[in-house]
């Protein structure tokens, strides 16, 4: 797909790593711990440019412009999805409430018309909450799978973003360091030459 048809992630360094952003009509899963910044990444994508789309909040009190999806069933959630940029915060809550079979059916079937219409749907997935079998099924359902990792080394955090699956394109061969700043996530786009 041509670079000009991609939808910006709202993060310049991530757009660079994705050759311009997300291809329209893709299911994107962002996995990480609750403190890794995955919500910030999703919000930066959702708020980028014109026409924000729908941000379905299942986990907590929704912020300004978000849809309160707590207690919604999957059919009501699919009906609430509007615009070209949709965020489901979080897929982990959907799995806990409705089970893995319903969650995978939601990702692949219930939202198919939205994806086929060219929208991007970002699903947040909390690492370490699901069984390996559940995680594998979610990874297979995704068109794009991004993992945010953080480790503590001495007295510093080391945060890296890995694009692990990218349907229709080559997967980048390196992880990208990132920082959490007041505006959200900021990716390092420089490489050290040794």
The pLDDT, as a whole number, for residue 2 is 41
pTM: 0.93
Identify the three-state secondary structure at position 102.
helix
Give phi and psi for 43, each to the nearest 5.
-70, -35
Q: How far apart are CA 176 and CA 123, in angstroms?
A: 20
Percentage of the chain surpassing pLDDT 70? Answer: 94
With beta carbons less than 8 A apart as the criterion, state whether 106 and 75 touch: no
Q: Domain ranges for the chain, please list them.
A: 3-154+166-187
The mean pLDDT value for 65-71 works out to 96
The pLDDT, as a whole number, for residue 4 is 52
Q: Mean pLDDT across the chain, nearest whole number?
A: 92
| pLDDT(73) > 80 | yes
95-152 residue pLDDT tens:
999 999 999 999 999 999 999 999 999 999 999 999 999 999 999 999 999 999 999 8
29-44 residue pLDDT tens:
999 999 999 999 999 9
How open is the CA angle 104-90-173, to the nearest 5 degrees?
A: 75
The pLDDT, as a whole number, for residue 1 is 39
| pLDDT(28) > 80 | yes
Closest CA to 37 of 165, 148, 119: 148
| pLDDT(191) > 60 | no
Q: Which CATH class is domain 3-154+166-187?
A: alpha beta
């Amino acid at each position: 797909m041509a670079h000009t048809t991609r939808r910006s992630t709202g993060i310049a360094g991530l757009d660079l790593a994705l050759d311009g952003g997300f291809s329209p009509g893709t299911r994107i899963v962002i996995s990480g711990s609750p403190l890794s910044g995955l919500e910030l990444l999703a919000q930066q994508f959702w708020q980028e440019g014109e026409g924000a789309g729908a941000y379905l909040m299942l986990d907590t009190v929704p912020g300004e412009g978000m849809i309160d999806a707590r207690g919604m069933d999957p059919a009501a959630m699919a009906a609430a999805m509007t615009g070209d940029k949709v965020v489901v915060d979080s897929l982990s809550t959907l799995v806990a409430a409705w089970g893995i079979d319903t969650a995978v059916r939601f990702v692949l079937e219930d939202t198919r018309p939205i994806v086929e219409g060219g929208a991007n749907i970002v699903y947040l997935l909390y690492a370490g909450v699901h069984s390996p079998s559940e995680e594998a099924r979610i990874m297979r359902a995704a068109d794009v799978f991004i993992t945010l990792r953080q480790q503590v080394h001495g007295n510093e955090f080391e945060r890296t973003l890995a694009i692990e699956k990218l349907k229709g394109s080559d997967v980048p061969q390196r992880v990208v360091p990132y920082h959490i700043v007041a505006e959200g996530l900021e990716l390092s786009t420089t490489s050290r030459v040794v």
